[in-house]
Amino acid sequence: MARARYKPLVDRLAAEIRAGHLAPGTRLPTHRQLAAREGLALVTATRVYAELQAMGLVSGEAGRGSFVREAALPPGLGIDQQATATGMVDLNFNHPALPGQAELLRAALRQLAAAGDLDALLRYQPHGGRPHERATVGRHLALRGLAVAPGQVAIVDGAQHGLAVTAMALLQPGDVVAVDALTYPGFKLLAQAHRLELAPLPAAGAGPDLDALAALCRRRRVRAVYAMPTLHNPLGWVTGLARRRQLVAIARRHGLLLIEDAAYAFLAPNPPAPLAALAPECTVYVSGLSKSVATGLRVGFVAAPADCMARIERAIRATTWNTPGVMTAIACGWIEDGTVLRLESGKRADAAARQALAGQAFAGLHPVRHPNGYFVWLPLPAELRADKVAQALLHEGVAVSTAEPFSAGGQVPHALRVALGSVPLDTLGTALATVRRVIDAQPP
């Protein structure tokens, strides 16, 4: 097959950027200027920039043009980022922990070793978990306002696995899924793997623009909505009950599947009813214990309509067969004895203390955050570029994420997502002060 005529231009520009002949931050010709200079059609010039952007070499900014990206910045922060280097302060990922959690695990392992059914845990388990463990999870979900029968619960290897088996079981390649314009990067990765088309919805206060969703459903055959109504990642919103009911009404009117991601829901005190409680017939509720207990405890939950469970269990079989029995037994034991509730309460207080530090460090910068959240969304002043700020912070030994991995649309805002839950409080205060200092020091 003949190579497209514009490909050599893509190669030439990529080589110039990688060699440093086009410095980071350089404003590139407009699409029209590039087309005129190279003798291309406008649509072809647009394709050139799209390929360079896909390579992570340029970024397009609405109203400002196209710029050379900081090539030294790891692409895909939040999805494909390599392990944080030794000595780097990690404000990119959250793995919150409280003092004494290691002792809890030691005690749980000792108790498990003395249990009578230890041998049973070494065998294959039912794909969705053992019946009594599914019932335990059901009782835990009842505390979040969700009444489900044990047969409507599946135990999975963390919330990310729960989202994956939901997509595998209930969606088809090519399906259109409405998502927030800023959304969880892990779902973007799943959409790419399962060849789903993401349709971004703009934000409208504490939730997505539901008028935009209704208009989208009139134009397109939308199959599902992926939502985080209780403590959204990265924006921290908790959607009110009236808007949840409005979303449910749209879902019922257009036959949509609602995928409710509640990974951080435990941090919000007294939230409105989950979508799965308002529309149990069309909602899959996904959560887990990675954030509330420990990221290494890969135990999650999927609660779904009864007619979806067989497909979800087949997807679990196809991916992991079952969640390891030892991990599930520990998790369910901690649910039963109140350990999970105590840890959730402790982490709400811990997150609030960290947010207080963030409020002091970012005063005047208009951070977007929840008072009990483990992250801050930090829009940057109009004259600053997020990739340059992130690169400058890497030189200072602090890793943060730009908006790029969270953006589901074509326009990527200049903002940082600062995770608060991975370092000790004293280290966090110093690191947040460094973030503020670097932002303030950036030339306009």
In a 13 Å sphere around the CA of 415, the CA atoms on its Cβ side amount to 23
pTM of the prediction? 0.82
Q: Are 357 and 425 in contact (CB under 8 A)?
A: yes
The pLDDT assigned to 67 comes to 81
The pLDDT assigned to 121 comes to 82
Cα dihedral 159, 379, 431, 343 sign = negative
Bond into 24 cis (ω within 30): no
CB contact set of 19 (below 8 Å; sequence gap of 6+):
none
CB contact set of 32 (below 8 Å; sequence gap of 6+):
42, 45
Q: Are 181 and 158 in contact (CB under 8 A)?
A: no
Beta strands in 78-221 (DSSP E): 89-90, 153-156, 176-180, 197-201
Cα distances from 44 to residues 6, 35, 37, 411, in angstroms, run 7, 8, 12, 20
How do the residues of the chain divide into helix, strand and coil, expressed in percent and rounded to 5?
45, 15, 40
Q: Are 99 and 413 in contact (CB under 8 A)?
A: no
Q: Spell out, as residue ranges, where the chain has pLDDT lower than 70.
A: 1-5, 61-64, 70-87, 116, 444
pLDDT per residue as tens digits for the range 301-354: 999 999 999 999 999 999 999 988 889 999 999 999 999 999 999 999 999 999
Burial of residue 59, with CB atoms counted within 10 A of its CB: 0-12 exposed, 13-18 middle, 19 or more buried: buried
Q: Are 378 and 394 in contact (CB under 8 A)?
A: no
Cα dihedral 354, 358, 359, 360 sign = positive
* CB environment 406-420: b (16+ within 10 A), e (fewer): bbbbeebbbbbbbbb
Give me the phi and psi of 61, to 5 degrees please. -125, 120
C-alpha–C-alpha distance, residues 129 and 151, integer Å: 10
